Amino acid sequence: MKIGYVILLTLFTAGSFLTTDAKAQDQNDKEHYETPKLVIGIMVDQMRYDYIYRYWDTFGEDGFKRLVNEGFSFDHARFDYMPTFTGPGHASVYTGTTPAVHGIIGNSWYLRGEDRTTYVTEDPTVSTVGSDSDEGEMSPRWLLSSTITDELIMHNNERSKVVGVSLKDRGSILPAGHIGDAYWFDYGNATMISSTFYMDELPEWAREFNARDLPSKYLSEPWETLLPIEEYTASIEDDNPYEGTFEGQDRPVFPHDLPAYAEISGNGILANTPFGDSYLMEFVYAAIEGEEMGQDEFTDMIALSLSSPDHIGHRYGPPAVEVQDTYLRLDREIARLLDYIDENFGKDEVLIFLTSDHGGAHNPEYLKDLNVPTGGYDRGSAREGLSERLEEIYGFDPVKSFRAIEIYLDREMIREQGVRLADVQQDVVDYLLETEGVAGALSSTAMRTADFTEHVRRNVQRGYNSSRSGDVMYWLDPQWFTGNRTIGTTHGSPYSYDTRAPLIWYGFNVPSGSSAAQVYISDIASTLANFLNIPYTSGNTGNPMNDYIFGK
């Protein structure tokens, strides 16, 4: 079989400068059985759809612009579920389905049988590989569906290699699936690690990478703006009241004295700088060369998740100079990657996709100052009020856990009291809808027995997993937040600022062009399956985008 490299870039963006009709550029000159030698999946954590065009004028010509101009972008790509968090985002891209099927309903959730909260990738049965910390006690044990990376490995009888790479454990583990290898950042030791779920010891190339101690290098100088700060016209003033600081820093302004802050907090602060992206890119090159990826007829895959934009976004918020500078530097890393592909494989031999795991909201204080509707939801008071209401109605309080998007009830207590669970759930829904800031709520009974088609309710239902989710799921009004948030930002809502993201495909015979067709994050895996001529994932519910790309 002749193998080529395909670069698939999935990028969610707010608009597109491209008007090329893909049908006019149907360059499907490869035989249907040909596949790329290498796939590089790029997920930029918390990348909003609009960032590409917001920063377009300050990007170079060879990074994001090259991906957009030479690749195929989807301008109406969305997440088709709630909540829009990191864990569900990565799981949905690589399983081709939503939390209702793959089971990753958040970055954490309540376990009814154990009366505790679990972290999305926690696994106390495995141990850390690469350091003496417990940061490697992780695996994909909670992931219910196969991933497209699993299917690739199985299809080629384990002759394809898959490497997941991220600063966050969940950003590498969920994409790497159940069979590939995953590596992530030990924030305490500032090294890349794995777990015994994947290997007994780090391969030599990974040990050599850690020995280079790149965090010390990247943190040896202050973080200055890449361009003169007056050129950051896509951002608000550097000195503003909406941003957080490093420990030891008085004001969140440039230059950021990284050596001083690393002295206080350790080299793990690398993740909170754009140099965390540079660090991961270096690891990707080491993995490609160390594992000899893309060197035979069996397609290999790198699943890269860039976590620093999320850390930076949470601290500073979308309009910050720091966020713009992060993307300008990432633009240069993308250009370097494309040059690396050209030199070592050739564009038509690699498929790259670049996308995001969720977007991000504007800071509520910033919105308030602009007279944009916003608010803070007092979850503590809401829980007290709910408990009082249920005590009045039933004489007991069955609330076990009141979380950011869902409420768990003590079902055993409800059964013992001889009360119908559906009635209690509906009373919870009714109470929530009476509280300021709540836009809607659905009971688990309703989500199991009805099929919702309205956009938000449909997304809530697709985020509901019958064995793991709460008894009631709820969502707030647009631009409302849990608590009194004054700095930075967050995400998780079913609204466009969290659910619209960039999506670009690049390389391996992908024509230049764009489409305004509605596609979803869960469509990526089946599109990859068609490119690679492999089975869909076990839980796949998405639809392939290949016909849009090739204009058929």
> Which of 12-21, 229-238, 467-476, 480-489 has the weakest average pLDDT?
12-21
Q: According to the model, what pLDDT value does residue 258 have?
A: 98
Fold assignment, 375-482 = Gyrase A; domain 2 (3.30.1360)
3-class state of residue 343 by DSSP = helix
Q: According to the model, what pLDDT value does residue 33 have?
A: 78
Q: How far apart are CA 356 and CA 114, in angstroms?
A: 33
Q: According to the model, what pLDDT value does residue 28 have?
A: 52
> Which residues touch 370 (CB under 8 Å, ≥6 apart)?
none
| 51 pLDDT above the threshold of 60 | yes
Sign of the torsion angle spanned by Cα atoms 46, 50, 53, 55: negative
Q: How far apart are CA 82 and CA 475, in angstroms?
A: 9
Task: Give which of 5, 60, 84 is closest to 335, Cα–Cα.
Answer: 60
> Which of 31-45, 184-198, 257-271 has the weakest average pLDDT?
31-45
Q: How confident is the model at residue 416 (pLDDT cuts 50, 70, 90)?
A: very high
Query: Mean per-residue pLDDT for 174-203?
Result: 98
Residue spans in the chain of domains classed CATH 3.30.1360.150? 375-482
355 and 45 Cβ atoms separated by less than 8 Å: no
Q: How confident is the model at residue 358 (pLDDT cuts 50, 70, 90)?
A: very high
| 199 pLDDT above the threshold of 70 | yes
| 24 pLDDT above the threshold of 80 | no
Question: Burial level of 540, CB count in 10 A (0-12/13-18/19+)?
Answer: buried
3-class state of residue 442 by DSSP = strand
119 and 107 Cβ atoms separated by less than 8 Å: yes
The encoded tokens of residue 446 equal 């309703």
The encoded tokens of residue 498 equal 């969290």
Residue spans in the chain of domains classed CATH 3.40.720.10? 3-363+497-550
Cα angle at 95 between 549 and 532, to 5 degrees?
A: 45
3-state SS, one letter per residue, for 464-527: CCCCCCCCEEEEECCCEEECCCCCCCCCCCCCHHHHECECEEEECCCCCEEECCCEEHHHHHHH
Query: Mean per-residue pLDDT for 507-513?
Result: 96
3-363+497-550: CATH superfamily: Alkaline Phosphatase, subunit A (3.40.720.10)
> Which residues touch 162 (CB under 8 Å, ≥6 apart)?
149, 152, 153, 176, 177, 179, 180, 181, 300, 301, 302, 303
Task: Measure the N-to-C terminal CA separation of the chain; round to a whole number of Å.
Answer: 25
Q: What is the mean pLDDT of the chain?
A: 94
Q: Are strands 116-119 and 108-111 parallel, antiparallel or unpaired?
A: antiparallel
The encoded tokens of residue 503 equal 């999506």
| 11 pLDDT above the threshold of 90 | no
Cα angle at 142 between 141 and 144, to 5 degrees?
A: 100
Q: Is the overall model pTM greater than 0.75, yes or no?
A: yes
Query: Which residue carries 């377009």 as its tokens?
Result: 56
Cα angle at 20 between 17 and 22, to 5 degrees?
A: 130
Name the percent of the chain lying above pLDDT 70. 94
Q: Which residues have a catalytic role annotated? A: 86
Q: According to the model, what pLDDT value does residue 19 have?
A: 40
Residue pLDDT, tens place only, 205-240: 999 999 999 999 999 999 999 999 999 999 999 999
